[in-house]
Structure 1
Amino acid sequence: MRQGRGDGFREFAEGRSGHLYRSACLLASGDTHLAEDLVQETLGRMYLLWGRVSRIDNPAAYAQTVLVRAFLTHQRRRSAGERPVGEFPESGAAAAGSGSGPGDPALRLTLLEALGRLAPKDRAVLVLRYWEDRSIEATADAMNTSSAAVRTRTSRALGRLREQLGGNISEFAGL
């Protein structure tokens, strides 16, 4: 019985770890070390609860919720807002102007840099709503808040992102 449980979890972890890692990178504003830690913590929590979680309709969505909550908990505990980063080849504004499309690395760096300057909850709401494509209600559930708070936070976070990017976000998205 115990071996079957471990095999089921291993299959789940192997199938979802890439997606969890990409989401964690966005939440962590490109800090791959923090992203790896968040994924490891998420999978650790999932393993402890696997007997109950595997009976949930959508364990993948539950894992994303655990990831976001682990990120928010980490941000609350963080004593200093500084983190080591390598230097970007160009400034964000210059890099965004030289890009050619959605696969442009300079565009990615600019967006990650702008996301990194947002408050953790603002970053989380944008990642859940637009990267994870979750509904307002699902985002509210993941963040343990109300739907009205998600709407307000989304609107304000997008406004802050627009201010940082200097104008119309659709220019950067190639829309």
Structure 2
Amino acid sequence: MRQSEESFRAFARTHATQLRRSAYLLCGDWHLAEDLVQNTFIKLYRRWRRVGSDTAVRYARKTLLRVWLDERRRPWRRAEHRFGAVPERAHSESDPALLGQRGFTRNMLLDALSDLPPRQRAVLVLRYWEDLPIAEVATVMRCSEGTVKSQAARGLRSLRTEIVDRDPERFGIAVEGTV
């Protein structure tokens, strides 16, 4: 086996879980997240010699974001329209990363995140989940730092509103018709 192929395999083993979680936060579906990561690794493998191991994580994140945006542009995605409430999701206790988290809060946050527009969701995932600095998020998304800041502010405001609207009593907000 060639040296570059072995280094790619080591990279894929090390970063697959992290990329899968990021993909899930972007798309909200574990199966689609796995497909996105697979497509990301295919694209990364084709350029592995040029990318280099020092910039591979940044390149993989950028490629994952592009693959997700491309997937959203597919014609069969346009036909789906959401009306009404999203049905409850079953607890996924098979993912070790989510075992320690409380199911209700996690599901509420993920549902609210899935309702955000794609750019706001991408900024929030890259900025707060991946913990990237504003400059790097701007580079990945090919926009200005000001756009990243405004998208993050709007996304957080929308996320906060969505969460409070889903469970107002939990946040001490009186519901009409109750005393």
Pick the TM interval, shorter chain: 0.7 to 0.9
Deviations, residues 27-48 of structure 1 (Å, cap 9, x unaligned): 112x011101110010000000
CA RMSD of aligned residues (A): 2.5
Q: TM-score, normalised by structure 2?
A: 0.78
Q: Counterpart in 2 of 1:59?
A: 56
Secondary structure at 1:88 match in 2: coil
For residues 112 and 17 of structure 1, do their structure 2 counterparts lie closer, same or farther at Cα, with a shift above 3 Å needed?
same
* Structure 2: stretches of 5+ with no match in the other structure: 92-99, 172-179
Among residues 19, 34, 57, which one is paired with 1:36 in the alignment?
34
Question: Are 1:146 and 2:115 an aligned pair?
Answer: no
Q: What TM-score results when the alignment is normalised by the length of structure 1?
A: 0.80
Aligned-pair identity in percent equals 42
1:89 Cα deviation after fit: 6.1
* Residue 87 (1) aligns with residue 88 (2): yes
Measured after TM superposition, the shift of residue 122 of structure 1 is 1.0
CA distance change for structure 1 residues 127 and 51 in 2, over 3 Å: closer, same or farther?
same
User: Distance between the aligned counterparts of 1:5 and 1:89, measured in 2?
Assistant: 41
Question: How many angstroms apart in 2 are the aligned matches of 1:104 and 1:79?
Answer: 33
Greater C-alpha radius of gyration = 2
Structure 1, unmatched stretches of 5+, are 91-101
Give yes or no for the alignment of 1:159 onto 2:160. Answer: no
Separation in 2, partners of 1:16, 1:88: 27
Deviations 1:109-136 (A, max 9, x none): 1111001111111110000010001111
Q: Which residue in 1 is equivalent to 2:19?
A: 20
Instruction: Work out the number of aligned pairs and report it.
Output: 155
